[in-house]
Amino acid sequence: MLSINNLIKSTPPSVKAKVGDVVVKAKKAVSKEGSSLYVFKTATKKVPGKKQEKYETMTLLKGAPTTKAAFAKSEAWVSCTCPFFKFHCERALVKKGSSTIIHTKDYKPPKVAKRPPVNPRNIPYVCKHLLASFLAIPKTRAKEGTIPLKTEIQKALVNIRKYIP
């Protein structure tokens, strides 16, 4: 499992440059059995004439770090419902134990590549929504308890918690 620091370091500057485009609309944070789950609704800033896309951006951490330094060192499991995460990030992060196949279940590599493959070296980086949520997490206090989640997310988290003693 990779730390928040590692995830940020692997993320290309072109993605980091877009963090300012993201608004974090709603934050929920709960802790259970020594892990904390942060579920944020994120969106791209409203542009006139364009539909505002909204996503669900999730981070599971060991412990509930409240300082930036502790947060940076935390090992993380992450997921986002945006297309960028699906095509660039999910499979590469799964190889490092930092995500679960949720959005790319039926993914097959295209036979004829019309476009260059995305992330062919499987670099475990994250999308701009996750980067924006990483800025908000140290300021968000996790409360003891649970929140309703989609079944596939629940299953993923039950599996991933095994990594967390």
Binding site for Zn ion (CB under 5 A): 80, 82, 85, 127, 129
Please report how close the Cβ of residue 10 comes to Zn ion at its closest, in angstroms. 15
3-state helix, strand, coil in the chain (%, to 5): 35, 25, 45
Q: Among residues 62 and 128, whose Cβ is nearest to Zn ion?
A: 128
Distance in Å, CB of 41 to Zn ion, minimum:
11
In the complex, least distance from residue 162 CB atom to Zn ion, rounded to whole angstroms: 25
What is the DSSP annotation of 27-83? EEEEEETTEEEEEEEEEEPP-TTSPPPEEEEEEEEES---SHHHHHHSBEEEEE-SH
Q: Which is nearer to Zn ion, 84 or 163 (CB)?
A: 84
Which amino acid, residue 70? Answer: A
Pick 31 or 156: Cβ nearer Zn ion: 156
Residue 108 DSSP symbol? -
Nearer to Zn ion, 34 or 53 (CB): 53
Q: What are the angstrom distances between the C-alpha of 88 and each of 79, 82, 143, 145? A: 12, 10, 32, 32
Minimum separation from the CB atom of position 18 to Zn ion (A): 10
